[in-house]
Amino acid sequence: MFGLIFAPLRLAIKIVTTILAIIVLYFVFTFVQIWLTGRTHSTSQAQAIVVFGTTENNGKPSQELRARLDEALVVYRAGRAPWIAVTGGNRPGDVFTEAGVSAKYLEAHGVPKSRILVGGGSDTWQNVQTVAPLLKAHRLYNVITVTDPFHEYRAMAIASSQGLSPVPSPVENSPTIKHSLWRYYLKESLEVGVGRIIGYGRLSSWTTSTHISIPSGG
């Protein structure tokens, strides 16, 4: 009698437990993919380098941004790609944009202005969205993505979803990876895990309330 009464409850608990286990395994698998990608350094040739933006300090690259730009310079000087695309907009009240600051830094370190494509964007999806048309206009599809190790998988996934063919070149010496690294990996695991299900573009529209910022060079 009691067995019949509690049978549906036991079944429900079993179903819920199974679903939770699948979700946990999915995100663990995602975490492993992100971690492994962040340790992969491609040596292949490409048509362009895409540098993902991060904070700037009143017209100068932050330590984190400079580390990404320096990695791009290493790749560029090795002759692995003849173009560099920079991304990143600005926050309310900022005079400069991440992409504009990045472009000036690269120019100051020997990259011709004619070989730098300047995008914008307030998140990774928008970063790619602003430079992908510029790259495609020059028939540049094969790209080397430069960003922090924990961000590399999502950056490549979003680049792929917008018609580019990326390979990784994660920054090894970024100051970011020296502080609370596990938080960044957990955040990326969540964003990648959700983004693959609902689409990175939709996730971007949910998590950002600002419009895409396309800088004019400032």
Judge whether 217 lies within some domain. no
| CA neighbor of 103 nearest in space, from 147, 72, 133, 63 | 72
Judge whether 216 lies within some domain. no
Judge whether 28 lies within some domain. no
Domain range for 134: 37-207
Judge whether 29 lies within some domain. no
Judge whether 198 lies within some domain. yes
What three-state secondary structure class fits 145?
A: strand
pLDDT tens-digit readout, 49-77: 999 999 999 999 999 999 999 999 999 99
| pLDDT at 218 exceeding the cut of 70 | no
Res 209: pLDDT? 55
Token duo for residue 75: 């790749």
CATH number of the domain enclosing 162 = 3.40.50
Phi/psi region, residue 147 (left: phi>0; alpha: psi -120 to 50; beta: rest), is beta
The answer to whether 62 and 56 have CB atoms below 8 angstroms apart is: yes
pLDDT tens-digit readout, 4-16: 666 777 888 889 9
Judge whether 127 lies within some domain. yes
Percentage of the chain exceeding pLDDT 70: 91
Judge whether 120 lies within some domain. yes
Taking the C-alpha atoms of residue 215 and residue 86, their distance in angstroms, rounded to an integer, is 11
Judge whether 46 lies within some domain. yes
* Mean pLDDT in residue range 93-118: 95
Taking the C-alpha atoms of residue 202 and residue 195, their distance in angstroms, rounded to an integer, is 8
Q: Report the domain count for the chain.
A: 1
Res 12: pLDDT? 85
Cα Rg for the chain, rounded, in angstroms? 20
